[in-house]
Structure 1
Amino acid sequence: MGIVLKQSLNNTVVTYFGFALGAINTLFLYTHFMHPDTYGLVQVVLSISAVLMPLLAFGVPNSLVKFYSSFTEGREQEGFLTMMLLLPLVLILPVGLISYFANEAIGAFLSRENPIVRDYIWHIFFTGMAMAYFEIFYAWSRIRMKSVFGNLMKELFCRVGQTILLTLLWLDVIDVPFFINALVGFYIVRTLIMKIYAYRVHMPKLIFQLPKNWKDIVKYSGLIILGGSTAIVLMEVDKVMLNNYLPIENVAYYGVAGFIAITIAVPSRAMHQITYPMTAEYINKGDKGALSNLYKKSSLTLFIIAGLLFLLIVLNLNDLFQLLPQGYSGGFLIVFWIGLTKVYDALLGNNNSILYNSDYYRSILFFGVLLALMAIGFNLWLIPAYGLNGAAIASFSAFFIYNSLKLYYVKTKFNMVPFTKGTFKVFCLLAAMGLVFYYVQFPFHPIVNIVLKSALMVAIYSTVLYKFRISEDIYNVMRKFIRR
């Protein structure tokens, strides 16, 4: 777990720096420099692109991680890597042709409620394609245990670009169409830079020789499309569907509240970048003991961090909303439900990695497709009835069912659960702190209130964790920090 924690901490620093910049963009620059309907358009373009991304990637990022360590002979390995580079074109080319010939029909479908979306179909396609190949080149470097630069590009590059573009928009140097065109350009340039780095890590030798197990690889990649699509659909479908039911500025309001909540997922994203290839290695070696240990430790570590972040966000939310324009300040329930979803995700540790790298991935992927359809059904039911809050409840409901199914499946097939006595102790600590600090209010400026309450909560939480050694990994990190 040492290498996991070390690289995870490095990635967490980068990711949180990216989220801090994203918070500035989302909570202040977008909300003050751009009209809500235009910001809603940006959210729709990026959300639909994200839904399209796993389809265009053809499951290659996951296949790279799963199969790479199984090839030991150089020529066969290079043939596998060549296949991974070309496989996405199997879907990118036909999807591009469909976008060209059915442009009007697609535009009409996406712009039923908000006609402004009609002119941005190609922006969605090129952004989705750039996202897909970025993930491929990122996985290319991760299989060599090089994750920090890719994480830097993923979390910072486009956010820095948005900061620059928003500033230029505020200064009236550029207009909205130029902003969106340039934003797409940043995603494409990010992919090209990631490609250069990945090739520096390992320059491919194009060998057009299919590996012996190419059918298994293609089958796995095809099924991973369903898995990747499921995860993305569950995360992005609410914003896509809000575009079809409510005026587009509501997508902006929902996006801001959602961004506040998904900050909880940052540690999970950072840790999974290194636990994913380690999980694949343990499964390929049949080391069930190491796998179970990683499962429990990743779950406890992430639950400790995600639980604290959930409390910090929810208990400071009223002060935070005072800093935003009026239209953005009504999202308490959105933050609560989406935040709760992210805590449950963290509680599962490296559950996804276990499933996607095992022989049981087929069943769980098909269950995932059914649950993605369920998420769509929940949104169809709850958005017309409850508006923005309905979308958040729909997302929580779908993720709760999906995560519970994955938890049960790992228990059934591997006889492993991520929970320990430490999990129960952390839950009790979080519940007690939530009850106490719900009634703690300061009468100062909102920023001062947030800083004071957060500092007090972190101090008490850290002291309890350290004194009772609930997590050995967290305890060791804190001990080294105290000694320094």
Structure 2
Amino acid sequence: MGIVINQSIKNTIITYIGFAIGAANTLFMYPKFLGETYYGLTGYLLSSANIIMPLMAFGVHNTLIKYFTHYKTEKEKEEFLTLVLFLPFLLIIPMMLFGTFGYSAIASFLSRKNPIIYEYVWQIPVIGLCMGYFEIFYAWVKVHMQSVFGSFIKEIALRIFITVFLFLVYFKWITPEAFVNFLMLIYLAVMLLMLFYAFKVKPIVFRFKLPHNTRAVLVYSSFIILSGSIANMLLDVDKNMIGQYIAIENIAYYSVAIFIATVISVPSRAMHQITYPITAKLMTENKHDELNDLYKKTSISLQVVGGLVFLGILVNVKELYTLLPANYSGGIFVVFVIGLSKYFDLLLGNNNAIIFNSKYYRAVLFLGLLLVFLTVSLNMYFIPRMGIEGAAIATLISITLYSLAKLLFVVVRMKLFPFSKKTLYSLAISLGCFFAFYYWDFPFHAVIGILLKSTLISAVYLYLNYIFKISDDINFVLDKVLTMVRLKRK
């Protein structure tokens, strides 16, 4: 776990810095600089692009990680990389042709509730294409165990670019309409940065010869397209459907709430950058016991770290919303509901990496297709009746059912189990801290109150987890921190 801890810590720091920048963008600059309509439009375009991203990437970003260790010589690796770089065009070309000739009909359908969407629909596949190839180049550096700079580009550089252009809107150097257009160029820029770094880590050499296991690569990539589409649909279809049923301004309110709740998943995102290739390697080598040990460690470590973030959000959410325009206050319920689904997903550790690198991935993907149908149906029912709160309820039901299905599949079919008694102890600590701090408000400015309450709950929560030795990896990190500040001898 040494390399996991080392790069996970770096990725976590980078990701949280990125989220801090993203928080400034999402909670303050977007609402105040762009306004509700163009903020909602931005959220609609990005969520739609994220939904089609797996199609644009042809699923090869996961295929690259799974099969890279199967090739022993540089020649074989070059043949494999050439294949995965060109595979996406099997879908990109027909999608672009369909979009070009059918643009009017597609754009009219998507903009029937909010006409402002019509002239921007063409940007969705372009942004999706940039997202897709970013992930492919990012996967190339991951298999070489160099994930940190990729995290920097994805989590920090992207948001800094957005911040710069939001300030350009603020100073009236560009219009909100122009910002939406520049957003596409921002995603192109970060994709090119990732390409440059991937080439620096390991030069990309084209070798136009099919690798020996091309059929297996094609089959796996095809199913990963489904899996990625399922995951992204579960994450972003709610924003897309809000734009189909109610005013686009509601996407702005929903996006703020979703961003706040998504902070909970940052530790998972950071850790998975490095545990995914390690999981693939352990499964290739059939090291069941080591895999099970990694499964438990990732589960409890994510529960501890994610639990602290979840608590920090829940006990401060009322104060946080006092800093936002009054129209956004309806998102508090969404934060609680989506946050709960994110927390449950953390408990599953590296569950996704295990499934998508196993021989059972096909069965779970078909189950996911059923859940996408359920998600769309639930959103169609709840959004017209309950607005953004209905979208949150639909998402909670869908993601919880999907997570339970994946957990049961790994437990029953693969005999791997992520939980232990420490899982219950950690849950008890989290519940105790929540009830102790949620009803405790300071008579100060909201920012001061948030800082004070966050400091207190962090100290109590980490102390209890430390003395009860909930996570060995977390205790190891805390010991190093205490040693650095000279509170504990080596």
- TM-score, length-scaled by structure 2: 0.98
RMSD of Structure 2 on Structure 1 (CA): 0.8
Give the match's secondary structure for 2:419.
coil
User: Who is 2:488 aligned against?
Assistant: none
1:400: how far off?
Answer: 0.5
User: Which residue identity is paired with 1:466?
Assistant: Y
Deviations 1:437-464 (A, max 9, x none): 1221111110111111111100111111
Task: Please tell me whether residue 91 in structure 1 is matched to residue 91 in structure 2.
Answer: yes
Query: 2-side partners of 1:157 and 1:127: how far apart?
Result: 16
Percentage of pairs with the same residue:
45
User: Who is 1:132 aligned against?
Assistant: 132
Alignment of 1:312-391 (within 5 A): 312-391=312-391
Query: 2-side partners of 1:335 and 1:431: how far apart?
Result: 17
Query: 1-side partners of 2:465 and 2:123: how far apart?
Result: 48
1:279: how far off?
Answer: 0.2
User: Who is 2:266 aligned against?
Assistant: 266
Task: Please tell me whether residue 4 in structure 1 is matched to residue 4 in structure 2.
Answer: yes
1:74: how far off?
Answer: 2.4
Query: 1-side partners of 2:168 and 2:362: how far apart?
Result: 48
Deviations 1:304-361 (A, max 9, x none): 1111111110111110011001111221110011101110111000000000001111
Most deviating of 467-476 and 105-114: 467-476
Task: Please tell me whether residue 224 in structure 1 is matched to residue 218 in structure 2.
Answer: no
User: Who is 1:26 aligned against?
Assistant: 26
User: Who is 2:64 aligned against?
Assistant: 64
Give the match's secondary structure for 1:69.
helix
User: Who is 1:395 aligned against?
Assistant: 395
1:31: how far off?
Answer: 1.1
1:73: how far off?
Answer: 2.4
Alignment of 1:203-242 (within 5 A): 203-242=203-242
Structure 1: where are the runs of 5+ without partners?
none
Query: 1-side partners of 2:415 and 2:158: how far apart?
Result: 42
1:213: how far off?
Answer: 1.1
1:204: how far off?
Answer: 2.1
Deviations 1:246-304 (A, max 9, x none): 10000000000110100001000000000000000000000001100000000000011
Query: 1-side partners of 2:206 and 2:2: how far apart?
Result: 36
1:176: how far off?
Answer: 2.0
User: Who is 1:16 aligned against?
Assistant: 16
User: Who is 2:243 aligned against?
Assistant: 243
User: Who is 2:119 aligned against?
Assistant: 119
Query: 2-side partners of 1:482 and 1:244: how far apart?
Result: 52
Query: 1-side partners of 2:36 and 2:388: how far apart?
Result: 15
User: Who is 2:413 aligned against?
Assistant: 413
| Contact 1:295 1:351 survives alignment (8 Å) | yes
User: Which residue identity is paired with 1:180?
Assistant: V
Query: 2-side partners of 1:204 and 1:125: how far apart?
Result: 25
| Contact 2:4 2:275 survives alignment (8 Å) | yes
| Contact 1:54 1:229 survives alignment (8 Å) | yes
User: Which residue identity is paired with 1:284?
Assistant: T
| Contact 2:40 2:252 survives alignment (8 Å) | yes
User: Who is 1:287 aligned against?
Assistant: 287
Deviations 1:199-255 (A, max 9, x none): 111112211111111011001000100000000000000000000011000000000
Structure 2: where are the runs of 5+ without partners?
485-490
User: Who is 1:477 aligned against?
Assistant: 477
User: Who is 1:186 aligned against?
Assistant: 186
| Contact 2:19 2:155 survives alignment (8 Å) | yes
User: Which residue identity is paired with 2:221?
Assistant: S
Query: 2-side partners of 1:120 and 1:158: how far apart?
Result: 21
1:415: how far off?
Answer: 0.8
User: Which residue identity is paired with 2:176?
Assistant: V
- TM-score, length-scaled by structure 1: 0.99
Give the match's secondary structure for 1:330.
helix
Task: Please tell me whether residue 149 in structure 1 is matched to residue 152 in structure 2.
Answer: no
Query: 1-side partners of 2:127 and 2:198: how far apart?
Result: 20
| Contact 1:99 1:121 survives alignment (8 Å) | no
Most deviating of 69-78 and 360-369: 69-78
Query: 1-side partners of 2:188 and 2:108: how far apart?
Result: 26
1:177: how far off?
Answer: 2.5
User: Who is 1:254 aligned against?
Assistant: 254
Query: 2-side partners of 1:177 and 1:384: how far apart?
Result: 28
Query: 1-side partners of 2:416 and 2:139: how far apart?
Result: 27
Give the match's secondary structure for 2:70.
coil
| Contact 1:66 1:277 survives alignment (8 Å) | yes
User: Which residue identity is paired with 2:158?
Assistant: C
